[in-house]
Amino acid sequence: MADKNDTKNPKWNVTDLPDLSGRTAVVTGANSGLGRTAAEALARAGAHVVFAVRDPERGRAAAAQVPGSTEVRRLDLADLASVRAFAEGWQGPIDLLINNAGVMMLPEQRTADGFEMQFGTNHLGHFALTNLLLPQVTDRVVTVSSGLHRGGDGVIHFDNLNLRGAYHPTRAYAQSKLANLLFTLELQRRLTEAGSPVRALAAHPGYAATNLQSHTANPLARLGMRLGNRLLAQDDVAGTLPTLYAATQDLPGASYLGPDGMGEMRGAPTLVGRSRAASDPVAARRLWTLSEEMTGVKWALGAGRVNVGTE
């Protein structure tokens, strides 16, 4: 395992993952893109990897091509009933929870619970899932954000989180990725306060060629992203390195990992900066409170351990 001060290693790759035998990892959105690449790398390193996916058939097809110990469970982050069912059906420890799944720059849509789709899926779904599973998590939670958390308006629209009457695909995506970072910040604060050894970290892939960009609302943007994927982007293996580094290396809680190249677009995994808005502890606490209200999932402390319940 890398020294805690070695936060940048240009030679670090998936082949440098530590032996993860006996460990369990849950990866959301593991049937495709960066989630599948991360799941495969973790399984090759010896972990038992749970593919937490919306479409179990596609998940099984992906898992069948991954060497190692895997299983597939249904999880629709855009439906809180599905999130609760996943958590209620879970037994045993989770060493690594990788909050990877997400949607990007969609036409305006709503989740099953009426939330704006990008905020509801990328943030609220993972917020609820993490809190419901947290009593079983033993090591760390890694949430995938994006360099685009700086985009849009660069803020959380606290008075209109669902962006009703103010929707724009980029604004909604940026808000959801900013929420991922604020969630990580407040989660780590609460874990530290509770005396928990679990660490919360975040990562972003830089510019990685995946199928995520193919669902953007603007056809010209889709064309531009397809060209960018071919000409500029790094591959999905390189794109998943910050997530894998965050999941397996000895790093401080609330760390944010990304590529070390120009503009954090590509390169070796390293600690990276975040916007001022993403570093605001007051905003992080406010978002947490609102997220509890929206999802009905609460954090509770008791008997020296973390307990999480719902209402």
Tokens coding 133: 């599973």
| Cβ atoms of residues 98 and 26 within 8 Å | yes
**Catalytically active residues, by annotation:** 173
How are strands ordered across the β-sheet holding 269-271?
Answer: 70-74, 48-53, 24-28, 94-99, 137-144, 199-203, 256-259, 269-271
Residue type, 45: A
Please tell me the number of Cα atoms within 13 Å of 249 on its side-chain side.
29
C-alpha to C-alpha distances, 222 to 101, 226, 240, 279, nearest whole angstrom:
19, 6, 22, 31
How many of the other CB atoms lie within 10 Å of CB of 61? Answer: 13
